[in-house]
Amino acid sequence: METTFEGGFADPVLEAQTAFRAIMDALANPGTPRKLAENALAEGPLGADLANVLLTLSDADTQIWLSDSLRTAGVEAFIAFHTGAPLVHEPTKAAFAFAASAAELPELGQFNLGTQEYPDRSTTIVLAVPALSGGPSMVLRGPGVKDHLHCSPMGLPGDFLEQWAGNRDLFPRGVDLLLLADGQVLGLPRSTRISGGH
């Protein structure tokens, strides 16, 4: 490969560990943003936050799906160079799905929802949003949430609450969701109940 990539982690092991802990902590504490490692560089439309999580979660055995604007030659070469992860076009085949905006995201039910025997084989969706606060208020309940929690990420699909209720009804099957903005990750695991806030 002639291309030299400026992106990726400066200290891959340390930064991937830091990001991985942030992601796991975000899923264990739904609705509470966690700080990602700072040094992942973007590659074209693949912003730094998306690149950070992609480098942390994918390897040569991880099938990943990219939303339309991320499917550029540069991004695909970046992924091949750094992780070797195979790209899939069908959402149902993805272990991880990366979307640059909610407008490019299929409905949650179109991804791999896992099986009763292997619910952990479902897709984890990684969605870049404009901000993790300032949007419509949502109330979260469930494991990892003491009583209830309010959060208000911007940029979710207009019918997100309906889509999420359908996803939650499938438990233990269903997708998990990671929202990214401003160097932070917010986790919404499938076990979380979400309703509209007031």
Residue 6 in domain: no
User: What whole-number distance in Å separates Cα of residue 36 and Cα of residue 34?
Assistant: 7
* pLDDT above 70 (res 47): yes
Residue 76 in domain: yes
- pLDDT class for 4, splitting at 50, 70, 90? very low
Residue 19 in domain: yes
**Antiparallel, parallel or unpaired: β 138-141 and 149-151:** antiparallel
Our measurement of the distance from residue 63's CA atom to the centroid of its chain's CA atoms, rounded to an integer in Å, reads: 14
Write the pLDDT tens digit of every residue in 161-190. Answer: 999 999 999 999 999 999 999 999 999 999
Average model confidence (pLDDT) across the chain: 92
Mean pLDDT over 50-72 rounds to 96
Residue 1, pLDDT score: 40
- pLDDT class for 10, splitting at 50, 70, 90? low
- Show the domain range for 109: 12-196
Residue 141 in domain: yes
Number of structural domains found in the chain: 1
Residue 78 in domain: yes
Residue 121 in domain: yes
CATH of residue 50's domain is 3.40.50.11310
Beta strands across the sheet bearing 138-141: 149-151, 138-141, 193-196
What are the DSSP calls for 49-60, one per residue? HHHHHHHHH--T
Write the pLDDT tens digit of every residue in 134-168. Answer: 999 999 999 999 999 999 999 999 999 999 999 99
